[in-house]
Amino acid sequence: MDTPATPPTKSPAPEELLALLQRLTHVSRLATMGEMAAGIAHELNQPLTAIASYAQACDWLLARGSTDTAEIRDALQQITAQGLRAGEIIRRLRNLVRTPDTARVVTDVNELIEELKGLALTDARAHNVRLTLELAPALEPIVANRVEIQQVVLNLVRNAIEALEGVPPERRDIVLRTAPGSDSNVELSVIDSGPGVDEAIVDRLFSPFVTTKPAGAGLGLAISRSIVEAHKGTLRYRPVGAGGGACFVLRLPHAQGGA
Amino acid sequence: MTKDSQALVFVVDDDEAVRSSTKLLLKSVGLPAVTFSSAQEFLDNYDPLQPGCVVLDVRMPLMSGLELQQLLNMRGAIIPVIFITGHGDIPMAVEAMQHGAFDFLQKPFRDQDLLDRVQKALEKDRVNRVQLREKTRIQERRESLTPREREILELMTRGKPNKVMAADLGVSQRTVEIHRARVMEKMGASSLAQLVRMVMDLDQPGGDTSSPSAREAAR
């Protein structure tokens, strides 16, 4: 099951491959954004609705000669807070669509998760999925291109959300877990309560153009694994067990361990 | 609660800011509102006797607005529901309308659009409750008839002349006349036309006066 995503026979130059991978990553990130657009639009609508209603309420209160300034001020403060909330949603989105930054930096896995948490939760909520974070404290730092690793995680979460489509809402669960792995690795798992991956395709899961989604290109996991391998890490699938469900485990080496 | 209690607008939305702002907007034009953060919370506090209307977010975790609507329908609730939807939720809005939603509104909404719909929904609720009360009254009157009187009522509404009724039932025309008078009196009808209309209203589908909550609501 550890077949390489791209079996190289006559390989192009490594830097060419890297550039290609980066472009593919960007495209795949934009595709993820497209899939998440509905959820984000819904999320943005909330503060906008609140702003419009608070403002119109203030207008009515003033037009009717209300002297309850505390109530009006409270509404105005709410308008400010909701404006900032909308800005925060846009900021999270922009962080993900900006052109990739190729720099690798020493970073904390939990911090990466914290940054993408908002988007992932938005997406989960829009699909009636409970997303739980279980972050182990004080993890060893890793060396990573932050945006790329975030893209891999979001990709796994998106796959999990899609896997839960046929599951009743009260049993739609995803756990995003970090743990100090063995052998100088940090471990990150995405576990869902869905049906698990069909055994027939488990062995080819990470090969390009293998997909179970009607509209999928089958590149998400292939690109994800390429990104992870470029970080000297591993990305593996294992079934959760009797109750079904899928678990994807991402392992990345500690910063002092190389890369 | 009594039938005279003041109408309330029930705002059900999982987003705190949307909930509070909608409540304030309604309040600013003199419409009292009560908020609920989930469909379940609304359901737990739902009182069929309380007049009003529901402003319901279509998309909520655990129990969606559509699921709540179906539960209300199953309980025979007559309270009008205005759905609040996001941009991509038009198919859901269509489904809601097919299941008898009063109206729907896209987020974000203009105050006038919300207030117009709420006013119309409250008016509809008021009319619904009056009609239901009237129907229940007629229903109760019909139930007070003896089996023989009910037979006579049935034949009267089918337009049978006294002579035919007498022959059908094997009684004298005089007996039929006495029963007829009793039926008219008990039903509170002043003419045959009015009596026929009453019975037609009762048997019309949609006016489900037999469901317990509908009957309760009519008191």
**pLDDT tens-digit series, residues A13-38:** 656 666 666 666 677 767 777 767 76
HSE (side-chain half, CA atoms, 13 Å) at A222: 17
Instruction: List C-alpha distances in Å: A95 to A20, A33, A98, A259, B107.
Output: 21, 11, 6, 24, 26
ipTM for the assembly: 0.73
Q: What type of residue sits at position A34?
A: G
Whether A125 contacts chain B with CB within 8 A: yes
Hey, which residues does A251 pair with through a beta bridge? A187, A234
Instruction: List C-alpha distances in Å: A24 to A20, A155, A207, A226, B213.
Output: 6, 13, 15, 10, 60
What pLDDT does A1 receive? 46
Q: How far is B87 from chain A (nearest CA, A)?
A: 7
Residue B163, Cβ density class (10 Å: 0-12 exposed, 13-18 middle, ≥19 buried): exposed
Task: Check if the beta carbon of residue B163 is closer than 8 Å to that of residue B125.
Answer: no
What number of other Cβ atoms are within 10 A of residue A253's Cβ?
Answer: 21
Nearest to B15 among A46, A57, A64 (CB): A46
Low-confidence ranges of chain B (pLDDT < 70): 1-4, 87-88, 204-219
HSE (side-chain half, CA atoms, 13 Å) at B71: 13
Whether A78 contacts chain B with CB within 8 A: yes
Low-confidence ranges of chain A (pLDDT < 70): 1-25, 29, 35, 38, 95-102, 208-219, 242-243, 257-259
Q: How far is CA B172 from the centre of its chain?
A: 42
Q: How far is B12 from chain A (nearest CA, A)?
A: 14
Query: For A11, which DSSP code?
Result: P
Level-2 CATH architecture, domain A101-257: 2-Layer Sandwich (3.30)
Q: Which tens digits make up the pLDDT trace of B99-150?
A: 889 999 988 899 999 999 999 999 999 999 998 888 888 889 988 999 989 9
- Domain architecture of chain B: domains with CATH: 8-131 (3.40.50.2300), 135-218 (1.10.10.10)
* CB spacing of B17 vs A56 below 8 angstroms: no
Q: How far is A86 from chain B (nearest CA, A)?
A: 12
Whether A62 contacts chain B with CB within 8 A: no
Query: For B208, which DSSP code?
Result: -
- Contact residues on chain B for A49, CB-CB shorter than 8 A: 18, 21-22, 107-109
Q: What type of residue sits at position A99?
A: T
Task: Check if the beta carbon of residue A43 is closer than 8 Å to that of residue A126.
Answer: yes
Instruction: Record the tokens describing residue B41, joined without a space.
Output: 């919370």
Orientation angle between helical segments B111-143 and B173-187, nearest 10 degrees: 150
Nearest to B17 among A78, A126, A130 (CB): A78
* CB spacing of A53 vs B88 below 8 angstroms: no
Four-point Cα dihedral B103, B106, B109, B113, nearest 10: -20
Q: How far is B109 from chain A (nearest CA, A)?
A: 7
Pairing of strands A234-239, A246-253: antiparallel
- Chain A residue with minimum CA distance to B86: A42
Q: Is the peptide bond before B108 cis (omega within 30 degrees of 0)?
A: yes
What 3-state DSSP class applies to B8? strand
Nearest to A45 among B61, B64, B86 (CB): B86
**What's the rounded Cα separation, in Å, for the pair A162 and A164?**
5
Q: How far is CA B94 from the centre of its chain?
A: 21
- Contact residues on chain B for A78, CB-CB shorter than 8 A: 17, 20-21
- Chain A residue with minimum CA distance to B105: A49
- Domain boundaries of chain A, sorted by first residue: 101-257
Place of tokens 């909550």: B213
What 3-state DSSP class applies to B173? helix
**What's the rounded Cα separation, in Å, for the pair B87 and B106?**
7
Q: Is the peptide bond before A180 cis (omega within 30 degrees of 0)?
A: no
What pLDDT does A96 receive? 65
* CB spacing of A81 vs B61 below 8 angstroms: no
**What's the rounded Cα separation, in Å, for the pair A12 and A20?**
10
* CB spacing of B87 vs A41 below 8 angstroms: yes
Cα–Cα nearest to A188, from A258, A105, A251, A94: A251
Instruction: Record the tokens describing residue B162, joined without a space.
Output: 């006294």
Instruction: Record the tokens describing residue A6, joined without a space.
Output: 């791209």
Nearest to B25 among A53, A82, A128 (CB): A53
* CB spacing of B61 vs A82 below 8 angstroms: no
- Contact residues on chain A for B21, CB-CB shorter than 8 A: 49-54, 57, 75, 78, 82
